[in-house]
Each structure stands twice: as structure tokens, then as C-alpha cells.
Amino acid sequence: MIRELVLATRNRHKVIELVALLGDLDIAIRTLDEFPEAPDVVEDGETCEANAVKKARAIAEFTGLPAVADDTGLEVDVLGGRPGVYAARYAGEDATYEDNCRKLLQELTGVPRERRTARFLTVAAIALPSGGIRVAQGTLDGVIAEEASGTLGFGYDPVFFIQELGKTLAQLSADQKNTISHRAKAFAKMREILGAAMVNV
């Protein structure tokens, strides 16, 4: 049975979301703060799945515990799917969230709202120390706003507008976001995988 699970990320914003999404499972959730010597995994895969699997596998091997990781891409239709898997470093290797949002908005200057369609894709992966891997994915459709709005969330949340709600992701509470988001959808599927693994592993 899976009794412990390591979150294979040092992104504190992600840790908070993942604890909220997985915290009520009967599994002890551990973070990389407890494993300061754990390797920094280079996300050099060409897909979100490749990056998620690489991170989960490396941390499972290092800790000897099941590890879960995710990677998220942002696909903007008018940009041919960019920034895609490179979303986190779109404006450069050391780019801040604000840098990435600013570059995206600059690239979309003058593009009308009906052509600013986009989607988030999250792929979650769980790796077992035995080498087993399972993956799940979730998507969220929206449009890129003309300007950033909202102070909640992180990443591209201030510029990702949900037309049905009339708000950006950064204007939603954590509970609201964790009901509809791409990451929430991926981890709802991951919960099912974990539930089965708690019985069968």
C-alpha cells in the first residue's frame, strides 16, 4: 500500500495547490523540504508528460518513496501553440511570472479577443520506487486577456480569462480554482490512480 507520497516540486505555490488537492487522502504528504539533498531535475523534455515523468522518477529513486510530479504548458492558438511546454521559461531561464506574462501580452498586442483562445494542459505523473509510472492529464480552455487582472494564483493566472466566469484565474479563490483548473482535473484522475494503488500496490 502507498502510505507516503513525495511532492516532486520546490515550487511553493504548486505545493499548496497539491496539498489541497490530495491532502484528504489517507496518505502522508511529504515535500522536498524534507529532502534537501534531493536533485534539481532539469525539465528538458519536449512534452509536459516527459517532464512530469522525469521529475517523478528522479525523486522516487532518490527518496525510495512514491513521488508525484506535474508539468503544465500553455497553448495559445494564434501563436501556433506557444509557449507550450516552455511556458515557465518563456521570457528566459530566470524569468519571473511577471516577465512571462508581459512577453505573452506583448506578442498578442492588437490581436482581437476572439483570436486569443488558449488552453492550459497539465500532465501529472506518479512514479513508484519499483519503476512503475502512471500519468493523468487535465485541460482548461480560456482566452488571454488584454491585461493582467487579479492578485491570486501564480504563473499565467492573471492573464488567463475564463469567459464563463468573467474572471481571470487570478481573480478566483483557491477553492474556486481547485474546482475547475487544469491541475485540479489532472489530480482528480491521479486521486483515482492513488486510491487504486493504496489497495493494490
Walk me through the domains of the chain, giving residue ranges and CATH numbers: 4-200 (3.90.950.10)
> Would you give the DSSP letter of residue 129?
T
DSSP β-bridge partners for residue 144: 160
User: For the whole model, what pTM was predicted?
Assistant: 0.87
Is 70 in the active site? no
Confidence of residue 153 (pLDDT cuts 50, 70, 90): confident
State residue 198's pLDDT score. 47
State residue 193's pLDDT score. 83
State residue 197's pLDDT score. 58
Question: Which of 26, 70, 71, 77 does the annotation list as catalytic?
Answer: 71
By the 8 A CB rule, do 32 and 8 touch?
yes
Length of the chain: 201
> Would you give the DSSP letter of residue 2?
-
C-alpha torsion angle, residues 89, 9, 67, 141 (rounded to 10): -50
Confidence of residue 200 (pLDDT cuts 50, 70, 90): very low
Of 6-20, 78-92, 137-151, 183-197, least confident by mean pLDDT is 183-197
Q: Which residue has the higher pLDDT, 30 or 23?
A: 30
Confidence of residue 201 (pLDDT cuts 50, 70, 90): very low
Q: Which residue has the higher pLDDT, 11 or 136?
A: 136
In the three-class reduction of DSSP (H, G, I as helix; E, B as strand; rest coil), residue 168 is classed as strand
**Helices within the chain (DSSP H only):** 12-22, 48-63, 97-107, 174-180, 182-200
Cis peptide before 129 (omega within 30 of 0): no
Q: pLDDT averaged over the chain?
A: 91
